[in-house]
Amino acid sequence: MSVTTLSSPTLIHRQPNWLVRLFDYKPFLVVMCLAPALGLLAVFLTYPLGLGIWLAFTDTTIGRKGVYVGLENFQYLLTDSLWWNAVFYSVVYTGIATFGKFALGFWLALLLNNHFPFKSLLRAIILLPWIVPTVLSALAFWWIYDPQFSIISYLLVDVLHWRTSNIDFLGSPWPARFSLIAANIWRGIPFVAISLLAGLQTISPSLYEAAMLDGASAWQRFRYITFPMMMPILAIVMTFSIIFTFTDFQLVYAITRGGPGNSTHLLATLAFQRGIAGGELGEGAAIAVSMIPFLVFATLFSYFGLARRKWQQGESND
Amino acid sequence: MTDTVAQASTVADAKAPPDTMAWDSGLRRLMMIYLPLGCFVLILLFPFHWMAITSFKPNAELMNYKEHNPFWITSPTLAHIKHLLFNTSYPHWLWTTMMVAIGSTTLSLIASTLAAYAIERLRFRGSPYVGLGIYLAYLVPPSILFIPLATVVVQFGLFDSPLALILVYPTFLVPFCTWLLIGYFKSIPYELEECALVDGATRLQILRRITLPLAVPGLISAGIFSFTLSWNEFIYALAFIQSGANKTVPVAILTELVTGDVYQWGALMAGSLLGSLPVAIFYSLFVDYYVSSLTGAVKE
């Protein structure tokens, strides 16, 4: 169809205009096509990334150009108990939240992989927590965690009579930490479940049939077919999840702002507090840069996950 | 009672040879599939129910669980929404957010379509490396960029201007869209383009008349995804915008509506509900595109 439109007379008698010829010259066209994307990324991603690393070695503050101070910012951070606190909580937060998201998300994906009525409707509803702006659902959680009018406390105290007093979710360090982790898991389950569901649907049913003929139990089918076949996609989804959980900002900023007593600061919120709110751009940048080694580690994990998939499927490197 | 029955049947099933298909029996199905699914749906949706119900509750009901069942509303009111729309600059924030989302989506769609076409179809030397580079850009999270980006934005004189957000959001939209569109372009047969080349079409004509029309589903996926991501973005909008009038909805609700020690939960929840509605409506119109772009990007 499209071919017939193109063989219209205007195209056959096209004038060899120099502009047309220039845009048909492949190297020029490649440059023109890549220019907008690479330009945007260079100016607003690569340059700031480099600038951020440079800022981490200076004592810049808002309104004053800093000078190079070497490793001073990092030396200061190593003696700063708040930074250690943030590192500790970032690791705990990422670890528990990732585990929770993947355990529950995988379970949900397995459930959704069954046949039942209204399946596509259910799949659509389940993605909602991921679609809605995080800050806005975080506000709903803040309200759910309210010390006085928490609906969870109401349920436990007045309906089920399991407790006699309200839970103080955000008032003391550990409950606040776990409340944030729970909110993060809630938000992350849909993404994990839907991505893994897509992976589950690519597993050929004949594998399960063969295993059932050989007398494999449900657990064996999961352990020796589903899980190994899901490894590549699990590795990718997990890398993304780890990177974006470790650098999470919105949930903590919206619900606790790092409190109580700075106990729930993640590295990103600490960087914001020092760099933007406190004006110490150099120190904030140093905190942000201190996240990079972890991210590099996660990216390598993803790369080797991908490489393994290609090797397993005997694919060429395209 | 049902528990013991279910357990008994599980035990029986475990002993039964698997090829009898006994595991598909009704009760076991109920316990193993519908019950956990029900719990998941309940927990995943409850915060939205709570958000919606709070937005329509009068303050008296909001703070009194003894006399009113907190899970339902006895006398719904529009007072919170009215307060939001007429006593705050909420409509203005919505407008700003909409403009920023549309602007950055358009910009990143144009940039990433051209880039994906160059990488996947023009096939120059080193194109896989450019693709890989763009993919790696996706792995750089905003949390490590916002401090230096703030200084860049100030250098460009764009501080406190929504234009800064329109220009900055493509940094996370372009990698995603490019990656998605490369996948779509791959699925379009190369022969169609060869035919057009033989007929004397220029490369740009091929892009406009053949490749793009065939990639429309991919463009829609990339577009709605970008729109949602820019609507939801928080940290850049928080760091680069200062004046109340230019804020986007997520930032404005958190910084302008949360005032003092007594939180106006009714207004806060009404703001969250209204701020979520545009993306939720958008989402309900294009569910399949969302799911396919989400899974497509992961599978690539």
pLDDT one-digit tens code per residue, A180-202: 999 999 999 999 998 898 888 88
Non-local CB neighbours of B297 within 8 Å, separated by 6+ positions: B176, B179, B180, B183
User: Quick check: helix, strand or coil at residue B154?
Assistant: helix
- Whether A29 sits inside 8 A of B70 (CB atoms) is no
Q: Sorting pLDDT into bands at 50, 70 and 90, what band is A70?
A: confident
What is the reported pLDDT for A303? 64
Give Cα separations from A165 to A151, A162, A174, B62 (angstroms).
13, 9, 18, 19
Chain B CA closest to residue A63: B151
Contacts of B50 in chain A (CB under 8 A): 140, 143-144, 151
Share of chain B above pLDDT 70, in %: 88
What is the reported pLDDT for A125? 87
Taking the CB of residue B109, how many other CB atoms lie within 10 A of it?
20
In this complex, is the C-beta atom of B142 within 8 Å of any C-beta atom belonging to chain A?
yes
User: How close does chain B come to A263, measured CA to CA in Å?
Assistant: 19
- Whether A27 sits inside 8 A of B124 (CB atoms) is yes
Contacts of A288 in chain B (CB under 8 A): 143-147
Main-chain dihedrals φ then ψ at residue B5, nearest 5 degrees: -60, -45
Contacts of A127 in chain B (CB under 8 A): 283, 287, 290-291, 294
Q: What is the DSSP string of chain A?
A: -HHHHHTSHHHHT----HHHHHHHSHHHHHHHHHHHHHHHHIIIIIHHHHHHHHHHTB--BTTB---B-TTHHHHHHHH-HHHHHHHHHHHHHHHHHHHHHHHHHHHHHHHHTS--TTHHHHHHHHTHHHHS-HHHHHHHHHHHT-TTT-HHHHIIIIIS---SS---TTTSHHHHHHHHHHHHHHHHHHHHHHHHHHHHHTS-HHHHHHHHHTT--HHHHIIIIIHHHHHHHHHHHHHHHHHHHHT--HHHHHHTTT-STTTT--HHHHHHIIIIIS--HHHHHHHHHTTHHHHHHHHHHHHHHHHHHHHHHT----
| ipTM (interface pTM) | 0.83
What is the reported pLDDT for A25? 81
- Whether B269 sits inside 8 A of A139 (CB atoms) is yes
Residue A306 vs residue A277, higher pLDDT: A277
Non-local CB neighbours of A239 within 8 Å, separated by 6+ positions: A298, A299, A301, A302, A305, B139
Out of B111, B250, B284, name the one closest to residue A135 (CB).
B250
To 5 degrees, how large is the angle CA A219–CA A224–CA A225? 100
Out of A2, A140, A151, name the one closest to residue B272 (CB).
A140
Q: Sorting pLDDT into bands at 50, 70 and 90, what band is A115?
A: confident
Non-local CB neighbours of A168 within 8 Å, separated by 6+ positions: A147, A175
Chain A CA closest to residue B265: A143
Contacts of A40 in chain B (CB under 8 A): 107-108, 111, 167, 170-171, 174
Mean pLDDT, chain B, rounded, equals 83
Least confident range of A9-18, B64-73, B235-244: A9-18
DSSP designation for B57: S
Average pLDDT on A60-83 reads: 88
Best A1, A4, A5, A6 member to test B by mutation, with max B CBs in 10 Å, is: A6
**pLDDT at position A315 over 50:** no
Rounded Cα distance, B66 and B58, in Å: 15
- Whether A272 sits inside 8 A of B239 (CB atoms) is yes
Which 3-state string (H, E, C) describes A28-69? Answer: HHHHHHHHHHHHHHHHHHHHHHHHHHHHHCECCECCECCCEC
Amino acid at A68: Y
Contacts of B62 in chain A (CB under 8 A): 149
Q: Which helix (H) or strand (E) holds B295?
A: helix B287-299
Size of interface A-B (CB pairs under 8 A): 319
Mean pLDDT, chain A, rounded, equals 85
CB A157 within 8 A of CB A150: no
Contacts of B18 in chain A (CB under 8 A): 212, 215-218
Best B143, B177, B233, B255 member to test A by mutation, with max A CBs in 10 Å, is: B143
Rounded Cα distance, A133 and B249, in Å: 10
Average pLDDT on A48-66 reads: 89
What is the reported pLDDT for A190? 92
- Whether A154 sits inside 8 A of B167 (CB atoms) is no
Amino acid at A207: L
Rounded to two decimals, the pTM is: 0.85
- Whether A217 sits inside 8 A of B111 (CB atoms) is no
What is the reported pLDDT for B16? 43
To 5 degrees, how large is the angle CA B119–CA B122–CA B125? 70
Torsion over CA: A298, A258, A181, A77 (sign):
positive
Q: What does the pLDDT look like over B255-286, one tens digit per residue?
A: 888 776 667 888 889 999 999 988 888 888 88
- Whether A3 sits inside 8 A of B250 (CB atoms) is no
Contacts of B259 in chain A (CB under 8 A): none
- Whether A23 sits inside 8 A of B168 (CB atoms) is no
Out of A11, A30, A51, name the one closest to residue B118 (CB).
A30
Amino acid at A158: D
Out of B40, B145, B294, name the one closest to residue A48 (CB).
B145
- Whether A137 sits inside 8 A of B276 (CB atoms) is yes
In this complex, is the C-beta atom of B73 within 8 Å of any C-beta atom belonging to chain A?
no
- Whether B269 sits inside 8 A of A143 (CB atoms) is yes
In this complex, is the C-beta atom of B78 within 8 Å of any C-beta atom belonging to chain A?
no
Q: Sorting pLDDT into bands at 50, 70 and 90, what band is A306?
A: low
Q: What does the pLDDT look like over A134-181, one tens digit per residue?
A: 999 999 999 999 888 888 888 888 888 888 888 888 888 899 999 999
Chain B CA closest to residue A279: B147
User: How close does chain A come to B294, measured CA to CA in Å?
Assistant: 7
**pLDDT at position A7 over 60:** no
What is the reported pLDDT for B235? 92
In this complex, is the C-beta atom of B190 within 8 Å of any C-beta atom belonging to chain A?
no
DSSP designation for B122: I
Best A135, A237, A256 member to test B by mutation, with max B CBs in 10 Å, is: A135
Q: What does the pLDDT look like over B10-37, one tens digit per residue?
A: 444 444 444 445 555 777 777 788 899 9
User: Which residues of chain B from 41 to 70 reach within 8 Å of chain A, CB to CB?
Assistant: 41, 43-45, 47-48, 50-51, 54, 62-63, 65, 70
Chain B CA closest to residue A186: B44
**pLDDT at position A9 over 70:** no
Rounded Cα distance, B88 and A13, in Å: 62
Average pLDDT on A256-275 reads: 90
